[in-house]
Amino acid sequence: MPSSPRPHVFISYSRGDAPLAAAVQADLQAAGFAVFRDNAIRPGDYWDQALERALEGAFAVVTLWTPAASASEWVRIESRYAQSRRRLCPALCADCTIPLEFSSIQYADLRTRAAGDATHGEWARLVDALSQLAAEPTPTDPRAVAFLLGLKLVNGINCPRDDRIGRYWIEQAAKGGHPDAREWLRASPTGK
């Protein structure tokens, strides 16, 4: 899989919806986002490993809900992964029943949007949500790594407890702009 030069949006869709996915990809790229679609997997690559790497590197997953996507186990797996990381931005692209486990997540309703229409209100909401997620630290962001390391040390999770060193790493994350680290420092001024 060719690596993206920066974190990207991962498009989750059913193979039968490839034209729709291609149109959404083009529109997301026009909005300034790097995008991964499974058509970027090179011949000879193991597609399951390529998908895992692409999901890990994604700051957001846009699931294109259609009847075919709702029936796809792979779309559900990819969406479940994104949901567990709070990185799922679903889009309803055709009348269908969204799987129950995702039905309470707000989606962008793109059923009436024409490809290329950047003025559609729901498209603007999706682009705004993606922009916000792009600005947040991802689990592989060094600020997030520093914050999680600090929490592990402060709480003694799988390592000896060390409040001083743990607080140092949380402070480093906060200096870098990690919002949860800043909140932790506000709530725990003494580090306890």
Report helix, strand or coil for 172.
helix
* Domain residue spans of the chain: 8-135, 142-187
CATH 3.40.47.10 assigned to 8-135: no
Report the C-alpha gap between 1 and 41 in whole angstroms.
5
pLDDT band at residue 139 under the 50/70/90 scheme: low
Confidence (pLDDT) at 189: 63
Give the CA-trace dihedral at 122, 118, 72, 96, to 10 degrees.
40
What's the pLDDT tens digit per position in 62-86? 999 999 999 999 999 999 988 888 8
Q: Please, where are the H alpha helices in the chain? A: 18-30, 47-57, 67-71, 73-84, 121-135, 142-155, 163-175, 179-187
Confidence (pLDDT) at 2: 39
Structure tokens at 114: 């024409």
Report the C-alpha gap between 143 and 39 in whole angstroms.
31
pLDDT at 191 exceeding the cut of 80: no
Mean pLDDT, residues 38-52 taken together: 88
pTM: 0.70
